[in-house]
């Protein structure tokens, strides 16, 4: 019989409420003697009913808490579980936790509640990863993607691929063992493998998007000096991060900061104004600016709309006027003196804003949303972890190897070896084929109480 575990599930900080979680076969047995109602009577724990209880030992009251009991298997872990919604003082929570430990519970390891859920088939590895992603989400895109994965469409799709590979292999092995009795399966196997290959390719295409959602979009803000790059940076962040001044060449070192645009996590880099200069420090800043722009996924090329375009602007347009970059014509609160049509000819995407007043800055939000269609994130979600991508890539490699082998007329037993490897790699994503060490490694990334 497994242990009954307990842990504080909320963050270790003083707060209005704090939750202690208990899970295991003896949840009721350990918890019930500690609970009383307001009249001092014993409390009968009914499944899924929140009950206001005093937590008492030896006639001493430790807290008043709302206790909810979930009877296994209809609980997060699949075992009997209780959640004690206590007052959120660190001392209070610790003292209630100690009562549970004295009663016979064991302190939970990090992620042990979720690991138990996985072992009891309540959660596959993909959903477990989605739980971490949801807890760690810092943007709407991450939140939506994690919730889609929790719904399980992606899990079902990958589990089905795993099942199909296993079925295919069973048929192949039947033929290898009983060639007289079973029809030669090469043609059907090949067709099915090609279908699986296409599905894996599709899933992997989604992982690029998953990486973007998780890692965020790198945006470099570049332009000639004094066009308002730092003002834009501060406007997007909502506070003064970069120094702004009317003296050209203010920003030297690149200033980086995270923000959210169009529901996506973004990393903004405000860079030194690019121009010809004899100042060696400014030159260094400019070379870093160019490097940042090269590394970035998106360049926001800023121009000052309140003055005619100069040599520096023209050179920048040649370098950055590419698909995927955005021209930002700034200082729209001033009379327009720049040749805006010229800029629009060089850039596919162009917006006019005033970084100082904030007018038009919502266009940047919209632009990121349109370009990276965060709202479209497939309803079933996309894979975000490197581990998942690596395993599916390995699965695809073996499927392709099996296809090649069959096409070249190798015997089915060789294809079967590749299909076994492919199934094993694909199964690792949902957890169908993982080892104990892998399970431990994955769940140790969770916090205690999750």
Ligand X SMILES: Nc1nc2c(ncn2[C@@H]2O[C@H](COP(=O)(O)OP(=O)(O)OP(=O)(O)O)[C@@H](O)[C@H]2O)c(=O)[nH]1
User: From Mg ion, ligand X, none, which one binds at residue 167 (CB under 5 to 8 Å depending on kind)?
Assistant: none
- Number of continuous H segments (helices) and E segments (strands) in the chain: 15, 13
By C-beta, is 89 or 249 nearer to ligand X? 249
Could you tell me the smallest distance in angstroms from the CB atom of residue 321 to ligand X?
18
Burial 255-269 (b: 16+ CB within 10 A, else e): bbbebbbbbbbbbbb
Closest separation in Å from C-beta 302 to ligand X: 6
Q: Does 271 sit near Mg ion (CB under 5 A)?
A: no
The three state secondary structure string of 193-206 is HHHHHHHHHHHHHH
Place of tokens 């470099």: 220
Closer by beta carbon to Mg ion, 129 or else 230: 230
Q: How far apart are CA 392 and CA 162, in angstroms?
A: 11
Shortest distance (Å) from residue 220 CB to ligand X: 13
Give dist(CA 164, CA 87) in Å, integer.
51
Distance CA 390, CA 393 (A): 5
CA angle 390, 129, 47 (to 5 degrees): 155
Identify which of residues 273 and 395 has a Cβ nearer to ligand X in the complex.
273
Binding mask 175-214 for Mg ion (x = CB under 5 A): ----------------------------------------
Residues that bind ligand X (CB under 6 A): 223, 225-231, 244-246, 248-251, 272-273, 330-331, 333-334, 354-356
228 binds, among Mg ion, ligand X, none (CB under 5 to 8 A by kind): ligand X
At its nearest, how many Å lie between ligand X and the CB of residue 336?
12
Q: How many residues line the site for Mg ion (CB under 5 A)?
A: 4
Q: Which residues contact 77 (CB under 8 A, 6 or more apart)?
A: 23, 113, 114, 116, 117, 120, 122
Q: Interface with Mg ion by CB under 5 A: which range of 141-149, 173-181, 195-203, 248-256?
A: 248-256
449 binds, among Mg ion, ligand X, none (CB under 5 to 8 A by kind): none
Q: What is the largest CA-CA distance in the chain?
A: 87
Q: Residue 163 touches which of Mg ion, ligand X, none (CB < 5 to 8 A by kind)?
A: none
Instruction: Please check whether residue 269 is in contact with residue 255, taking contact to mean a CB–CB distance below 8 angstroms.
Output: yes
Task: Choose the contact partner of 245 out of ligand X, Mg ion, none; CB within 5 to 8 A by kind.
Answer: ligand X
Sole binder of Mg ion in the list 251, 330, 424, 430 (CB under 5 A): 251
Task: List, in order, residues 6 or more apart from 269 with CB less than 8 Å away.
Answer: 218, 219, 220, 221, 254, 255, 256, 292, 296
User: What tokens does 187 get?
Assistant: 């043609």
Residue 357 or 411: the one with the smaller Cβ distance to ligand X is 357
229 versus 275: smaller Cβ distance to Mg ion:
229
Query: Binding Mg ion by CB under 5 A: which of 250, 256, 373, 420?
Result: 250
As measured in angstroms, the least distance from the Cβ of 226 to Mg ion is: 8
If we measure between CA atoms, which residue out of 214, 245, 206 comes closest to residue 229? Answer: 245
Return the closest-CA partner of residue 19 out of 113, 102, 64, 86: 86
Report the residue number, 108 or 224, with the smaller CB distance to Mg ion.
224
Pick one of Mg ion, ligand X, none as the site partner of residue 355 (Cβ within 5 to 8 A by kind): ligand X
Of residues 211 and 283, the one with the C-beta less far from Mg ion: 283
Euclidean distance between CA atoms 270 and 252, whole angstroms:
10
Binding residues vs Mg ion (CB under 5 A): 229-230, 250-251
């Amino acid at each position: 019989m497994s242990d009954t575990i307990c842990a504080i599930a909320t963050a270790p900080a003083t707060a209005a409420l704090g939750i202690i979680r208990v899970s295991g076969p003896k949840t009721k047995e350990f918890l019930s003697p500690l609970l009383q109602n307001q009249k001092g009577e014993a409390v009968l724990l009914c499944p899924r009913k929140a009950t206001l209880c005093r937590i008492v030992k030896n006639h001493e009251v430790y807290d008043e808490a709302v206790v909810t009991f979930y009877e296994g298997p209809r609980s997060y872990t699949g075992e009997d579980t209780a959640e004690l919604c206590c007052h959120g003082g660190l001392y209070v929570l610790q003292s209630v936790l100690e009562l549970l430990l004295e009663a016979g519970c064991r302190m939970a390891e990090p992620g042990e509640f979720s690991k138990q859920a996985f072992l009891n088939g309540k959660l596959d590895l993909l959903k477990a990863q989605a739980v971490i992603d949801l807890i760690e989400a810092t943007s709407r895109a991450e939140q939506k993607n994690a919730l889609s994965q929790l719904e399980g469409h992606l899990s079902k799709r990958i589990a089905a691929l795993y099942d199909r590979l296993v079925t295919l292999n069973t048929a192949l092995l039947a033929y290898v063992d009983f060639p007289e009795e079973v029809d030669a399966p090469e043609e059907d196997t090949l067709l099915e493998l090609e279908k699986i290959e296409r599905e894996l390719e599709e899933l992997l295409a989604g992982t690029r998007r998953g990486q973007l959602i998780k890692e965020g979009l790198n945006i470099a803000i570049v332009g000639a000096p004094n066009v308002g790059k730092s003002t834009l940076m501060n406007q997007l962040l909502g506070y003064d991060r970069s120094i702004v001044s009317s003296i050209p060449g203010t920003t030297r070192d690149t200033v980086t900061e995270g923000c959210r645009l169009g529901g996506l996590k973004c990393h903004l880099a405000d860079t030194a104004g690019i121009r010809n200069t004899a100042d060696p420090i400014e030159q260094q800043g400019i070379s870093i600016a160019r490097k940042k722009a090269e590394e970035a996924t998106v360049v926001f090329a800023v121009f000052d709309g309140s003055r005619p375009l100069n040599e520096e602007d023209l050179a920048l347009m040649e370098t950055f006027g590419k698909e995927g970059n955005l021209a930002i014509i700034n200082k729209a609160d001033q009379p327009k003196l720049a040749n805006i049509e010229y800029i629009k000819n060089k850039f596919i995407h162009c917006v006019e804003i005033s970084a100082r007043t904030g007018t038009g800055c919502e266009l940047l939000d919209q632009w990121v949303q349109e370009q990276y269609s965060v709202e479209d994130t497939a309803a079933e979600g996309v894979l975000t972890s490197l581990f998942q991508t690596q395993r599916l890539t390995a699965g695809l490699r073996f499927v392709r190897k099996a296809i090649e082998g069959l096409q070249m007329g190798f015997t089915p037993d060789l294809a079967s070896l590749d299909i076994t490897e492919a199934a094993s790699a694909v199964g690792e994503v949902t957890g169908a084929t993982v080892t104990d060490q892998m399970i431990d490694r994955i769940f140790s990334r969770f916090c205690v109480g999750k």
